[in-house]
Structure 1
Amino acid sequence: MDILNSAVDSINTLLWSYVLIVVLVGCGLYFTLTTGLVQLRMLPEMFRVLSEGIGKRPAGKTISSFQAFCVSTASRVGVGNIAGVAIAIVTGGPGAVFWMWVIAFIGCATGFVESTLAQIYKLPREEGKFHGGPAYYIQNGLGQRGVAKLFAILISVTFGLIYNSVQANTIALSAVTAFGIPPYATAIFLCVMTSLVIFGGVNRIARVAGVLVPIMAGFYIFIAVLITLLNIDKVPGMFALIFHDAFSPQAAVGGGLGSVVLTGVKRGLFSNEAGEGSVPNAAATADVSHPVKQGLVQALGVYVDTWLVCSATAFIVLLTGQYQVGGELTGIALAQASLASAFGSLAPSVVSLMILMFAFSSIVGNYYYGEINIAFFEGNGKAGLQAFRVCVVAMVLFGCLAELNLVWNLADLFMGLLCLTNLYAVIRLAKYARIALDSYISQRDQGIEPVFDPAILGNVEGVHAWGIKNPVDHK
Structure 2
Amino acid sequence: MGDFLDTVNGYVWSDALVYLCLAAGIYFSVRSRCLQLRQVPEMIRLMMKGQSSSAGVSSFQALAVSLSGRIGTGNIAGVATAIAFGGPGAMFWMWAMAFLGASTSFVECTLGQIYKTRDPLTGEYRGGPAYYLSRAMAHTKAAPAFRVYGFVFAAVTVLSCGVLLPSVQSNSMASAMQQAWGVSEWVVAIGTAAVLAVIIIGGVKRIAAFASVVVPFMAVCYMLVALIIVVVNASEIPSVISTIFASAFGADAAFGAIVGAAVMWGVKRGIYSNEAGQGNGPHAAAAAEVSHPVKQGFVQAFAVYFDTLFVCSATGFLILSTGAYRVFEGETAEGAVIADGGVLPSDIVVGPSFVQHGFDTLWSGAGSTFVALSLAFFCLTTILAYYYIAETNLRFLLSKYGTAVVPFLRWSAGSVATVVLQALILASVVVGCVSTAAEAWALGDIGVGLMAWLNIVGILVLQQPAYKALRDYEKQQRDGVDPVFDPRALGIAGATFWETYEPSGDKVKVPTRA
Distance (whole Å) between structure 2 residues aligned to residue 255 and residue 373 of structure 1: 42
Distance 1:313 1:466, change over 3 A: farther
What is the match of residue 465 of structure 2? Answer: 432
Q: Percent identity?
A: 39
1:236 Cα offset (Å) = 1.0
1:15 Cα offset (Å) = 3.3
Task: Answer yes or no: is the 8 Å Cα contact 2:170–2:430 preserved in 1.
Answer: yes
What is the match of residue 196 of structure 1? Answer: 198
> What is the correspondence of 1:141-290 to structure 2 with a 5 Å cutoff?
141-142=136-137, 143=143, 144-248=146-250, 256-290=258-292
> What is the correspondence of 1:11-50 to structure 2 with a 5 Å cutoff?
11-50=8-47
1:137-180 CA distances to partner (integer Å, 9 max, x unpaired)? 01111332211111111111112221110000011101110000
What is the match of residue 98 of structure 1? Answer: 92
1:403-450 CA distances to partner (integer Å, 9 max, x unpaired)? 111111111112111111111221111111001000000110111111
Task: Answer yes or no: is the 8 Å Cα contact 2:487–2:498 preserved in 1.
Answer: no
Q: Which moved more, 1:254-263 or 1:442-451?
A: 254-263
Distance (whole Å) between structure 1 residues aligned to residue 381 and residue 289 of structure 2: 22
1:341 counterpart = 2:361: yes
Distance (whole Å) between structure 2 residues aligned to residue 268 and residue 396 of structure 1: 23
Task: Answer yes or no: is the 8 Å Cα contact 2:48–2:59 preserved in 1.
Answer: no
The one-letter code sitting in structure 2 at the alignment partner of 1:342 is: L
Distance 1:466 1:299, change over 3 A: farther
1:11-52 CA distances to partner (integer Å, 9 max, x unpaired)? 323332332012111111111111111111111110111121
1:225 Cα offset (Å) = 1.4
The one-letter code sitting in structure 1 at the alignment partner of 2:394 is: I
Q: Secondary structure at the match of 1:325?
A: strand
Task: Answer yes or no: is the 8 Å Cα contact 1:253–1:259 preserved in 2.
Answer: no
Give the structure with the larger helix fraction. 1
What is the match of residue 124 of structure 1? Answer: 118
Task: Answer yes or no: is the 8 Å Cα contact 2:359–2:366 preserved in 1.
Answer: no
The one-letter code sitting in structure 1 at the alignment partner of 2:467 is: R
Distance 1:470 1:306, change over 3 A: closer
What is the match of residue 377 of structure 2? Answer: 357
Q: Which ranges of structure 2 fall in alignment gaps of 5 or more residues?
A: 138-142, 329-336, 338-347, 404-413, 505-514
Q: Say which one has the larger Rg.
A: 2
Question: Aligned pair count?
Answer: 465
What is the match of residue 128 of structure 2? Answer: 133
Distance 1:228 1:470, change over 3 A: closer
What is the match of residue 397 of structure 1? Answer: 430
1:294 to 293, 296, 307: 296
What is the match of residue 6 of structure 2? Answer: 9
Distance (whole Å) between structure 1 residues aligned to residue 183 and residue 473 of structure 2: 53
TM-score (norm 2): 0.87
Q: Which ranges of structure 1 fall in alignment gaps of 5 or more residues?
A: none
2:53 to 55, 59, 79: 59
1:58-94 CA distances to partner (integer Å, 9 max, x unpaired)? 2335211111110010010000000000111111111
Q: Which moved more, 1:460-469 or 1:90-99?
A: 460-469
Task: Answer yes or no: is the 8 Å Cα contact 2:247–2:255 preserved in 1.
Answer: no
The one-letter code sitting in structure 2 at the alignment partner of 1:267 is: R
Distance (whole Å) between structure 1 residues aligned to residue 198 and residue 426 of structure 2: 11
Distance (whole Å) between structure 2 residues aligned to residue 286 and residue 459 of structure 1: 20
Distance (whole Å) between structure 1 residues aligned to residue 27 and residue 162 of structure 2: 30
Task: Answer yes or no: is the 8 Å Cα contact 2:126–2:286 preserved in 1.
Answer: yes
Task: Answer yes or no: is the 8 Å Cα contact 2:465–2:492 preserved in 1.
Answer: no
